[in-house]
Structure 1
Amino acid sequence: MKIRIFNSPHDAGIYVAALAEQIIESRRKPVLGLATGSTPIPFYEALVHLHQCGLDLSRVTTINLDEYIGLDSSHPQSYSWFMWKHLFSHVNIPKENIYLPNGVATDLEAECRRYDEIIHSHPIHLQILGIGVNGHIGFNEPDDTLLSGTHIVELRPETVMSNARFFNDIGEVPKRAITMGVQAILQADKIVLMAFGREKAKIIAKSVYGEVRTDVPASILNLHKDVTVVLDRDSAGELLDESGRLRTK
């Protein structure tokens, strides 16, 4: 596991976009696993800028991690809307190459199976992840077990509370979501976990330097062969010694 610490989320986003460019330029049909929330926005801004500078994304396929249940793609807080606002409307990724779970599918179990088939047919070369304050990746919440396939999840109260800032009222926050399972995440060739802000420092330390355990889902990334953790100085705070250097485990 590599750890990279930047002075700002902006600088970190440029770095992650450069990693994505390497994948895009080196693969005939590159597949990017994408995340939502405020954390990856600097990455999307930098990737859009690279496209404006000449990076062709027409061969790219994208597979998003998750979606709220009950929000259709026209809802301004759906993850589909988020992706179109921050990335898809600004670049030349073909619409038919863009995949997100359908949060209003009439048969949610069938939708989970459909999404697993998409992931199986499009092995992910680079998976972008954020991390929840409770350690969730995607919406794989802390639990006694972590599910391997795409599944329906009941969101933990701390997740609902954290996401309430995007809604007018906490009562509007969906309580369920569809999420890619941990197996699909771990099968990606390369994983980049991004985290910014002091509120993420404790869970980053648990995930990076702690034991692998299901009640800290992000800790399972320690089992992957190629993970880069991209932080700002606030989120890296508990990984550093008094001189500002990385502590050993």
Structure 2
Amino acid sequence: MTKSFTIDQLQAAVYGDPNEMGEAAADFVKSKLNGAIQQKGEANLILATGASQFSFLKALQRKAIDWKKITVFHLDEYKGISDQHPASFRKYLKERILDSVAPKKIYFLNGDAPDLEKEMDNYSKALQQHPIDVACIGIGENGHIAFNDPPVADFNDPKWVKLVSLDEDCRNQQLGEGWFPTLDDVPKQALTLTIPAIMGCKTISCVVPDERKAEAVYNTLNEEISTKCPATVLRTHPNTSLFLDTNSASKIAD
């Protein structure tokens, strides 16, 4: 680790490379999950997806965690794609961690459900019935958390899960990460946990590597807390840790 610092209530640390960052985040999440299991016999976890989570998820599945006592949710899913689509977040999580660790229970958000309103309502109820001990999230290039892009982000959203339209910056990010062959192939809508659903979690672990996230990281730490950069709201959470690498932290002044 090269440095750590606190802005408002947000604790941040910068690591030398994505692997070192991923290991540190995985140790942090392991500690929180094991603490919850020790306290109440079980734990509830939210996982994020995307290229930014590769090193973290690889490290997390190697940690000594009793997955048979953990219930897992995830942040979001594209509208209208199946869990066999190469860009499906359900497919991503199965292949990158869930099939390996075999948690007690997995709640998947199905973007291709025949009744999306019912799907979102059921997912909201499941979240409310399983208070989340640790939410593992990232920050998008446009400053979003989950799919709460600036145009649709609401710090006081009455919903826990909602259908949103994705802005151009978000859709271009998905294209740039290689999940879709063309911009036209990137879905225009997605189901997402809302900001209150995320902020209601006991602990938030936010993993953000790569130079393409540097401006979003700078804005998260320095801009006024507002939906212009939704991730700024993380500075108001009492137990959030932000894990950066030297590239994503490159615009932060020493």
- Show the counterpart of 2:165: 154
Which range is displaced more, 193-202 or 131-140? 193-202
CA contact (8 A) 2:12 2:243 kept: yes
Shift in alpha-carbon separation, 1:75–1:166, aligned structure 2, 3 A:
same
> Aligned partners of 1:91 and 1:192: how far apart in 2?
19
How far residue 178 of structure 1 moved from its aligned partner, in angstroms, is 0.1
Segments ≥4 residues shifted beyond 4 Å:
none
The 5-angstrom pairing of residues 168-207 of structure 1 reads 168-207=181-220
Shift in alpha-carbon separation, 1:137–1:144, aligned structure 2, 3 A:
closer
> Aligned partners of 1:160 and 1:4: how far apart in 2?
28
For 2:164, give the aligned amino acid.
Answer: V
The 5-angstrom pairing of residues 28-67 of structure 1 reads 28-50=41-63, 54-67=64-77
| Residue in structure 2 matching 1:121, options 126, 129, 141 | 129
TM-score (norm 2): 0.89
Shift in alpha-carbon separation, 1:230–1:221, aligned structure 2, 3 A:
same
> Aligned partners of 2:101 and 2:153: how far apart in 1?
38
> Aligned partners of 2:139 and 2:153: how far apart in 1?
18
CA contact (8 A) 1:32 1:61 kept: yes
CA contact (8 A) 1:66 1:100 kept: no
| Deviation by residue 1:49-103 (Cα, 9 ceiling, x = unmatched) | 22xxx53211011110000011111222100000011001111313xx1112110
- Show the counterpart of 1:93: 103
- Show the counterpart of 1:233: 246
| Deviation by residue 1:221-247 (Cα, 9 ceiling, x = unmatched) | 111111111000111112232xxxxxx
> Aligned partners of 1:211 and 1:196: how far apart in 2?
22
- Show the counterpart of 1:244: none
Is the partner of 1:124 in helix, strand or coil?
Answer: coil
Is the partner of 1:236 in helix, strand or coil?
Answer: coil
How far residue 145 of structure 1 moved from its aligned partner, in angstroms, is 5.2
> Aligned partners of 1:167 and 1:86: how far apart in 2?
18
> Aligned partners of 1:65 and 1:144: how far apart in 2?
16
For 2:82, give the aligned amino acid.
Answer: D
The 5-angstrom pairing of residues 104-115 of structure 1 reads 104-115=112-123
CA contact (8 A) 2:153 2:230 kept: no
CA contact (8 A) 1:153 1:177 kept: yes
For 1:89, give the aligned amino acid.
Answer: D
> Aligned partners of 2:97 and 2:131: how far apart in 1?
21
For 1:99, give the aligned amino acid.
Answer: Y
Superposition CA RMSD, Å: 1.3
TM-score (norm 1): 0.91
For 2:238, give the aligned amino acid.
Answer: K
How far residue 144 of structure 1 moved from its aligned partner, in angstroms, is 6.7
Identity %: 29
| Deviation by residue 1:158-191 (Cα, 9 ceiling, x = unmatched) | 1111101211222211111000011110011111
> Aligned partners of 1:225 and 1:188: how far apart in 2?
10
